[in-house]
Amino acid sequence: MAPRIKIPATKYPVERFTLGNGLRVVLSPDRSAPVVGVAVVYDVGIRSEPEGRTGFAHLFEHLMFQGSENLEKLAHFRHVQGAGGSFNGSTHLDYTDYFEVLPSGGLERALFLEADRMRGPRLTEENLRNQVDVVKEEIRVNVLNRPYGGFPWLKLPPVMFETFPNAHDGYGSFEDLESATVEDAQGFFDRYYACGNAVLSVAGDFDVAEATAMIERHFGDVPARPAPRLPDFFEPDLTAERRESYVDRIAPLPAVAGGWRVPDPIATFDDYLPFVVLAEVLTDGDASRLVERLVQRDRTATTLGGYIGFMGDEYQVRNPTALLLQAHLPPGGDADKVLRTIDEELDRLAADGLKPGELDRTQARMATRLLHGTDDVLGRALPMAVLELQRGRPEMLNDLPKLISEVRAEQIVAAAATLRPERRASVEVIPGASA
């Protein structure tokens, strides 16, 4: 047997502490380049928004950029860009993040800005109405007027799930967005944007003692509020196949996506990780099983992808989540045939096992992407913040390449055997542009 590929490990240092108000802090110093990344992650996402307020978590992310306790509207933009930095934020199923990358001399500026809006954003009627319009336009651009908009991350959950947190449209309906009030926004902030419900992470060029003093100076007097109790999003697994289709009026060609529930990413990570690797075995690169069969040999699909999590964040998602496979098809493509072929290939993998070198190649590619992703400071600050938030283990970022390399072939085979048609939810795109 050929020796297994040795995966190198990273050794980014990690220091953790908690302020008196409950804010958790993660520091990862690296003096190799004069740049810092700052991330603040709140333990609230799409799954936490209330019924009747679809899209509210994302809307609130927009509101956090509209001025804060001591800063007028657009001041955050001006102060970061004026220091030569960049910034953004994003809403996920289970968390919302805000971040800056700056020359290292701008660290205290970023900390002040984040602390100021942690005390309170400017929640005014003008800001709310303006940002409702911005989010509605984003929905028009990214979903309503884009071919395959929302496929499959918005279209598959309501087929797979039944409860509101898991099944609803995270972008939101226009009706729900328009009916949102300043009181709703203030209540959302008071409940979820407590410092006890957040993690501050800093990575890059800084002195730990100096950064700690800055953090205590800017965040230490943010009023303490306890973290809300984490909701339970549990749903039982499927016992019969679910299948739906819809017409996309501007899609030129058919497409199909299928999903299967996977083990709990937090509570049973050792059982979950083989499914992460399996998704790559099936779809990563021209030599992968499903790409070789569906795209190159059968030509029943033009593109094919596989990943864990509806937003592709396999190490930063809670239960329930799914392994997803999605394919775009040629003119007149047969979605049923594609799904049947996927079933055949899964059966073959479960029965015959992996080919020589198949797992090593996949693990090496996965580890390479992880190692490349942590090269930049934000590629450390953001995932470390989420790993602290969800697991209390920011140092796990160093361990992931090694953990991937330790997944065994028999675990992949066993995972493939669970992806049965009766556990699958799928959604088909019927093209309307050619009608």
- The answer to whether the CB of 20 falls within 8 A of the CB of 220 is yes
Q: Same domain for 182 and 285?
A: no
pLDDT given at position 4 = 63
Q: Same domain for 204 and 279?
A: no
Q: What is the β-pairing status of strands 198-204 and 35-42? A: antiparallel
Instruction: Tell me the pLDDT tens digit for each residue of 167-207.
Output: 999 999 999 999 999 999 999 999 999 999 999 999 999 99
pLDDT given at position 2 = 45
Instruction: Tell me the pLDDT tens digit for each residue of 229-286.
Output: 988 899 999 999 999 999 999 999 999 999 999 999 999 999 999 999 999 999 999 9
40 pLDDT exceeds 50? yes
Instruction: Tell me the pLDDT tens digit for each residue of 382-434.
Output: 999 999 999 999 999 999 999 999 999 999 999 999 999 999 999 999 999 76
Q: Same domain for 208 and 307?
A: no
Look at residue 42 and tell me if it is in a domain: yes
pLDDT given at position 6 = 76
> Which of 185, 220, 255 delimits the end of a domain?
220
Q: Same domain for 58 and 190?
A: yes
Domain of residue 154, residue span: 15-220
Q: Given pLDDT bands bounded at 50, 70 and 90, which one contains residue 3? A: very low
CATH of the domain at 113: 3.30.830.10
Going by C-alpha positions, the residue among 283, 286, 296, 292 that lies closest to residue 257 is 283
Q: Same domain for 248 and 362?
A: yes
Q: Same domain for 148 and 283?
A: no
Instruction: Tell me the pLDDT tens digit for each residue of 199-235.
Output: 999 999 999 999 999 999 999 999 999 899 988 899 9
How many other CB atoms are there within 10 angstroms of residue 404's CB atom?
21
Q: Same domain for 268 and 358?
A: yes
Q: Same domain for 87 and 197?
A: yes
Instruction: Tell me the pLDDT tens digit for each residue of 129-169.
Output: 999 999 999 999 999 999 999 999 999 999 999 999 999 99
Instruction: Tell me the pLDDT tens digit for each residue of 69-94.
Output: 899 998 999 999 999 999 999 999 99
Choose from 73-77, 312-316, 324-328 the range with maximum mean pLDDT: 324-328
Spatial distance between the Cα atoms of 76 and 99, rounded to a whole number of angstroms: 11
Q: Same domain for 176 and 248?
A: no
Going by C-alpha positions, the residue among 6, 34, 24 that lies closest to residue 377 is 34
Instruction: Give the tokens for residue 145.
Output: 């007027």
Spatial distance between the Cα atoms of 109 and 129, rounded to a whole number of angstroms: 29
Look at residue 416 and tell me if it is in a domain: yes
The number of folded domains in the chain is: 2
